Amino acid sequence: MRDPFADEILDLYKEKNWKEIVEKYHDHPERSKVLWVFPTEDNFQFLKECLDSLACDKIMSVGCGTGLLEWMISEATGIPVSGVEVDSAWWNSKYAPPTFIPLLLTSSKLDKDIINVLQNSTNTALTFCYFNNRPAFEDYINFFSGTCLIIIGPGDSKGVHTDPKPFNDVSEDWLLYKWQEVRSSSDFIAVYCKK
C-alpha cells in the first residue's frame, strides 16, 4: 500500500541520496515505519573503522526490517550488507513497507540455508538493530562462526525495550570492543569481538 512518508524515502533511495535520508528523517515522527535508528555520517565512519580493524569485510544483519539501514551502511562504507527477516507472508503482502535490499527470509526455526551462511561467516560482522527476540538471538549466535558482533539499540535511559540491549547483555564470550552514540539519541552502536 502506498504511504506518502515511505514514498519520500523511496525517492531519495532511487537517487542514492542516503545523506539526505539521515539528515531529514532522523527525528521524523513516522521514521520507525522504515527504520528505528538513523546513524550520522560519523557513525557510518565509526562502523567502517571498526570493521576494518577487526578484519571484517561484510555484514549480515538479522531482523533487518525494510533493510534501509543495511542499504545506507553499504552505500556509506562500501561494505556489502545482507539482511535476514522472518515471516515471508508479511514481507510479501501488499501491506508490507518497501524494502531497500533483497531480504533473506527464514522461518522462526532457522532455515538450513541461513545456518549454512552463519557457519561460514569468518569475516562477517553479525548485526542486530533494535532486535527483540532473545531465543532467536541465541540461535543465530550459536551457529555464527565469526568473531564480530554489533548490537544497535537504546541505552537504559531511553526507556525502550530491546533484546539484546547494546550493553551488558551478551555472554562472556564477547568483549566490548568500541561503542558510539547515534547523535544524542540515547541509541548506541556497540561493537563486540569474540574473546
Ligand X SMILES: C[S@@+](CC[C@H](N)C(=O)[O-])C[C@H]1O[C@@H](n2cnc3c(N)ncnc32)[C@H](O)[C@@H]1O
Instruction: Report the side by side order of strands in the sheet with 103-106.
Output: 103-106, 81-86, 58-62, 124-129, 148-154, 187-194, 174-182
| Shortest distance, position 129 Cβ to ligand X, whole Å | 4
Q: Show the site string, 104-133: x = touches ligand X by CB under 6 A, - = not.
A: --x-x--------------------xxxxx
Could you tell me which of 87, 82, 89 has the C-alpha nearest to residue 124? 82
By the rule CB under 6 A, 100 interacts with ligand X? no
Question: Contact between 63 and ligand X (CB under 6 A)?
Answer: yes
Quick one: which of 26, 7, 36 has its CA closest to 154?
Answer: 36
84 counts as binding ligand X under rule CB under 6 A: yes
Nearest CB to ligand X, comparing residues 16 and 134: 134
Residues in contact with ligand X, total (CB under 6 A)? 20
Q: Which residues bind ligand X (CB under 6 A)?
A: 35-37, 62-65, 69, 84-87, 106, 108, 129-133, 136
